Amino acid sequence: MQLSSLIDEYKDCEKALYKAIRSEQVTMIRECDIRMNWIRNVIRDFFATNPWERLQQIDFFMNAISQAADLGTHSSLFADARAVIERYIAGTTARDETAPEPAAAAAPADIPEIGGMIERTDLRVSAFDRDFRYTYTSPANGRFYGMPQSAFTGRHVSEVIGDERYEKRAKTYFEKCLAGENQCYYYYLDSEKRGRQLLECQMLRQYDADNDALGAVIIIRDVTRRVPDPARAAEENAV
Protein backbone atom coordinates (compact mmCIF):
# COMPACT_ATOMS: atom_id res chain seq x y z
CA MET A 1 0.00 0.00 0.00
CA GLN A 2 1.27 3.49 -0.85
CA LEU A 3 2.03 5.93 1.94
CA SER A 4 -0.43 8.49 0.54
CA SER A 5 -3.20 5.88 0.69
CA LEU A 6 -2.39 5.11 4.32
CA ILE A 7 -2.51 8.79 5.23
CA ASP A 8 -5.81 9.25 3.39
CA GLU A 9 -7.27 6.25 5.23
CA TYR A 10 -6.09 7.71 8.54
CA LYS A 11 -7.80 11.02 7.77
CA ASP A 12 -11.02 9.20 6.87
CA CYS A 13 -10.89 7.30 10.17
CA GLU A 14 -10.24 10.55 11.99
CA LYS A 15 -13.36 12.12 10.47
CA ALA A 16 -15.39 9.03 11.39
CA LEU A 17 -14.02 9.23 14.93
CA TYR A 18 -15.08 12.86 15.37
CA LYS A 19 -18.53 12.02 14.02
CA ALA A 20 -18.81 9.08 16.43
CA ILE A 21 -17.74 11.28 19.35
CA ARG A 22 -20.39 13.87 18.52
CA SER A 23 -23.10 11.20 18.35
CA GLU A 24 -21.69 9.31 21.37
CA GLN A 25 -21.31 6.00 19.51
CA VAL A 26 -19.03 4.21 21.95
CA THR A 27 -18.46 1.10 19.83
CA MET A 28 -17.60 3.15 16.74
CA ILE A 29 -15.24 5.33 18.77
CA ARG A 30 -13.37 2.24 19.95
CA GLU A 31 -13.19 0.77 16.45
CA CYS A 32 -11.91 4.02 14.93
CA ASP A 33 -9.32 4.41 17.68
CA ILE A 34 -8.01 0.87 17.15
CA ARG A 35 -7.86 1.34 13.38
CA MET A 36 -6.09 4.71 13.66
CA ASN A 37 -3.47 3.27 16.00
CA TRP A 38 -2.85 0.42 13.56
CA ILE A 39 -2.49 2.79 10.59
CA ARG A 40 -0.16 5.03 12.61
CA ASN A 41 2.10 2.05 13.36
CA VAL A 42 2.15 1.02 9.71
CA ILE A 43 3.08 4.59 8.68
CA ARG A 44 5.82 4.64 11.31
CA ASP A 45 7.33 1.37 10.04
CA PHE A 46 6.87 2.22 6.36
CA PHE A 47 10.30 2.21 4.69
CA ALA A 48 10.15 5.02 2.16
CA THR A 49 12.72 5.05 -0.63
CA ASN A 50 11.24 8.18 -2.19
CA PRO A 51 12.53 11.41 -0.55
CA TRP A 52 9.13 13.09 -0.74
CA GLU A 53 7.45 10.13 0.93
CA ARG A 54 9.95 10.50 3.76
CA LEU A 55 8.98 14.14 4.15
CA GLN A 56 5.31 13.15 4.01
CA GLN A 57 5.97 10.55 6.72
CA ILE A 58 7.63 13.07 9.03
CA ASP A 59 5.01 15.73 8.39
CA PHE A 60 2.25 13.24 9.23
CA PHE A 61 3.62 12.78 12.74
CA MET A 62 4.32 16.48 13.24
CA ASN A 63 0.68 17.28 12.38
CA ALA A 64 -0.55 14.47 14.62
CA ILE A 65 1.54 15.78 17.52
CA SER A 66 0.17 19.31 17.14
CA GLN A 67 -3.39 17.96 17.24
CA ALA A 68 -2.97 15.43 20.07
CA ALA A 69 -5.06 16.27 23.10
CA ASP A 70 -3.38 14.28 25.89
CA LEU A 71 0.17 13.84 27.13
CA GLY A 72 0.11 10.07 26.65
CA THR A 73 -0.66 10.43 22.97
CA HIS A 74 1.95 13.20 22.66
CA SER A 75 4.61 10.91 24.15
CA SER A 76 3.77 8.06 21.78
CA LEU A 77 3.72 10.32 18.73
CA PHE A 78 7.02 11.97 19.69
CA ALA A 79 8.61 8.52 19.94
CA ASP A 80 7.28 7.57 16.50
CA ALA A 81 8.41 10.87 14.97
CA ARG A 82 11.86 10.51 16.49
CA ALA A 83 12.18 6.95 15.17
CA VAL A 84 11.33 8.06 11.63
CA ILE A 85 13.58 11.14 11.69
CA GLU A 86 16.57 9.33 13.20
CA ARG A 87 16.18 6.50 10.68
CA TYR A 88 16.80 8.86 7.78
CA ILE A 89 19.35 11.14 9.45
CA ALA A 90 21.48 8.18 10.51
CA GLY A 91 20.85 6.27 7.30
CA THR A 92 19.74 3.19 9.20
CA THR A 93 17.24 0.65 7.97
CA ALA A 94 15.73 -0.48 11.28
CA ARG A 95 12.24 -1.78 10.68
CA ASP A 96 9.71 -4.37 11.83
CA GLU A 97 11.29 -7.75 11.07
CA THR A 98 7.84 -9.32 10.65
CA ALA A 99 6.81 -6.85 7.97
CA PRO A 100 7.22 -7.79 4.31
CA GLU A 101 10.36 -6.57 2.60
CA PRO A 102 9.85 -3.37 0.59
CA ALA A 103 9.87 -3.81 -3.17
CA ALA A 104 12.94 -1.64 -3.68
CA ALA A 105 14.65 -1.02 -0.36
CA ALA A 106 17.57 1.35 -0.62
CA ALA A 107 20.90 0.46 0.91
CA PRO A 108 21.92 2.71 3.84
CA ALA A 109 24.57 4.44 1.75
CA ASP A 110 21.92 5.44 -0.78
CA ILE A 111 19.67 7.17 1.75
CA PRO A 112 20.13 10.95 1.60
CA GLU A 113 20.34 13.09 4.70
CA ILE A 114 17.13 14.66 5.84
CA GLY A 115 18.23 17.95 4.28
CA GLY A 116 17.95 16.37 0.87
CA MET A 117 14.33 15.48 1.57
CA ILE A 118 13.27 18.98 2.55
CA GLU A 119 15.52 21.11 0.37
CA ARG A 120 12.57 22.78 -1.34
CA THR A 121 10.32 23.16 1.69
CA ASP A 122 10.08 25.62 4.56
CA LEU A 123 10.46 22.94 7.24
CA ARG A 124 13.41 23.96 9.43
CA VAL A 125 15.21 20.98 10.98
CA SER A 126 18.35 21.04 13.11
CA ALA A 127 20.21 18.44 15.16
CA PHE A 128 22.20 19.36 18.27
CA ASP A 129 24.61 17.60 20.59
CA ARG A 130 24.32 17.69 24.40
CA ASP A 131 26.04 21.09 24.53
CA PHE A 132 23.43 22.62 22.21
CA ARG A 133 25.88 22.85 19.34
CA TYR A 134 24.68 22.25 15.81
CA THR A 135 25.59 18.92 14.23
CA TYR A 136 23.21 19.44 11.30
CA THR A 137 20.78 22.03 9.95
CA SER A 138 18.46 21.91 6.96
CA PRO A 139 18.74 24.14 3.89
CA ALA A 140 15.54 25.96 4.91
CA ASN A 141 17.04 26.94 8.26
CA GLY A 142 20.17 28.14 6.52
CA ARG A 143 18.06 30.29 4.21
CA PHE A 144 16.09 31.61 7.18
CA TYR A 145 19.25 32.96 8.83
CA GLY A 146 21.01 33.82 5.58
CA MET A 147 23.87 31.43 6.33
CA PRO A 148 25.29 28.39 4.48
CA GLN A 149 24.58 25.05 6.13
CA SER A 150 28.27 24.45 6.77
CA ALA A 151 28.45 27.62 8.89
CA PHE A 152 26.18 26.09 11.56
CA THR A 153 28.17 22.95 12.34
CA GLY A 154 29.87 23.21 15.74
CA ARG A 155 28.26 26.54 16.61
CA HIS A 156 26.39 26.98 19.87
CA VAL A 157 22.77 27.95 19.29
CA SER A 158 23.29 31.21 21.22
CA GLU A 159 25.72 32.30 18.49
CA VAL A 160 22.85 32.09 16.00
CA ILE A 161 19.80 33.29 17.94
CA GLY A 162 21.61 35.57 20.41
CA ASP A 163 22.41 35.24 24.13
CA GLU A 164 19.22 36.96 25.31
CA ARG A 165 16.83 34.67 23.44
CA TYR A 166 18.87 31.63 24.41
CA GLU A 167 18.89 32.41 28.14
CA LYS A 168 15.29 33.60 28.19
CA ARG A 169 13.63 30.56 26.64
CA ALA A 170 15.59 28.14 24.45
CA LYS A 171 17.95 26.96 27.20
CA THR A 172 15.09 25.93 29.50
CA TYR A 173 13.27 23.97 26.80
CA PHE A 174 16.46 22.24 25.68
CA GLU A 175 17.37 21.19 29.22
CA LYS A 176 13.88 19.75 29.74
CA CYS A 177 14.21 17.87 26.47
CA LEU A 178 17.57 16.34 27.43
CA ALA A 179 16.06 15.35 30.78
CA GLY A 180 13.51 13.24 28.93
CA GLU A 181 10.56 15.58 28.32
CA ASN A 182 10.09 16.12 24.59
CA GLN A 183 8.86 19.64 23.98
CA CYS A 184 6.21 21.26 21.79
CA TYR A 185 5.62 25.00 22.04
CA TYR A 186 4.69 28.09 20.02
CA TYR A 187 6.19 31.55 19.75
CA TYR A 188 5.85 34.71 17.70
CA LEU A 189 8.68 36.05 15.58
CA ASP A 190 8.62 39.53 14.06
CA SER A 191 10.77 40.58 11.12
CA GLU A 192 10.65 43.25 8.44
CA LYS A 193 10.92 40.66 5.69
CA ARG A 194 8.29 38.18 6.91
CA GLY A 195 6.11 40.23 9.23
CA ARG A 196 4.72 38.47 12.30
CA GLN A 197 4.92 34.67 12.19
CA LEU A 198 3.55 32.15 14.63
CA LEU A 199 6.05 29.30 14.77
CA GLU A 200 5.72 25.81 16.19
CA CYS A 201 8.82 24.24 17.72
CA GLN A 202 9.19 20.50 18.33
CA MET A 203 12.17 19.24 20.35
CA LEU A 204 12.79 15.49 20.10
CA ARG A 205 15.33 13.93 22.45
CA GLN A 206 17.98 11.66 20.93
CA TYR A 207 19.41 8.94 23.15
CA ASP A 208 21.57 5.81 23.02
CA ALA A 209 20.77 2.20 23.93
CA ASP A 210 21.27 3.02 27.63
CA ASN A 211 18.79 5.92 27.40
CA ASP A 212 21.58 8.47 27.88
CA ALA A 213 20.88 11.74 26.07
CA LEU A 214 22.94 12.38 22.94
CA GLY A 215 21.26 15.64 21.97
CA ALA A 216 18.05 16.66 20.24
CA VAL A 217 16.40 17.16 16.88
CA ILE A 218 14.49 20.44 16.60
CA ILE A 219 11.81 21.05 13.99
CA ILE A 220 10.34 24.52 13.41
CA ARG A 221 7.27 25.18 11.26
CA ASP A 222 5.35 28.30 10.30
CA VAL A 223 1.78 27.72 11.54
CA THR A 224 0.54 31.30 11.18
CA ARG A 225 -2.37 30.26 8.96
CA ARG A 226 -3.66 27.64 11.34
CA VAL A 227 -3.34 29.56 14.59
CA PRO A 228 -3.71 27.22 17.58
CA ASP A 229 -5.10 28.10 20.99
CA PRO A 230 -3.60 31.58 21.67
CA ALA A 231 -2.98 30.55 25.28
CA ARG A 232 -0.37 28.08 24.03
CA ALA A 233 1.49 30.64 21.95
CA ALA A 234 4.46 32.43 23.48
CA GLU A 235 4.65 36.19 22.92
CA GLU A 236 8.44 36.25 22.98
CA ASN A 237 11.05 34.93 20.57
CA ALA A 238 12.71 31.58 21.15
CA VAL A 239 14.79 29.20 19.04
Query: In DSSP terms, which residues pair with 94 in a beta bridge?
Result: none
pLDDT score of 94? 39
Q: Check: pTM over 0.75? Answer yes or no.
A: no
Domains and CATH numbers, the chain: 3-108 (no CATH), 114-234 (3.30.450.20)
Nearby residues of 84 by Cβ (< 8 Å), 6 or more positions away: 44, 54, 57, 58, 61
Distance, in Å, from the CA atom of 111 to the CA atom of 117, rounded to the nearest integer, reads 10
Phi, psi of 190 (to 5 degrees): -105, 135
pLDDT per residue as tens digits for the range 119-150 = 556 778 888 999 999 998 888 899 899 999 88
pLDDT per residue as tens digits for the range 44-81 = 888 777 777 777 787 787 777 655 544 445 456 666 66
Distance, in Å, from the CA atom of 119 to the CA atom of 20, rounded to the nearest integer, reads 40
Nearby residues of 96 by Cβ (< 8 Å), 6 or more positions away: 45
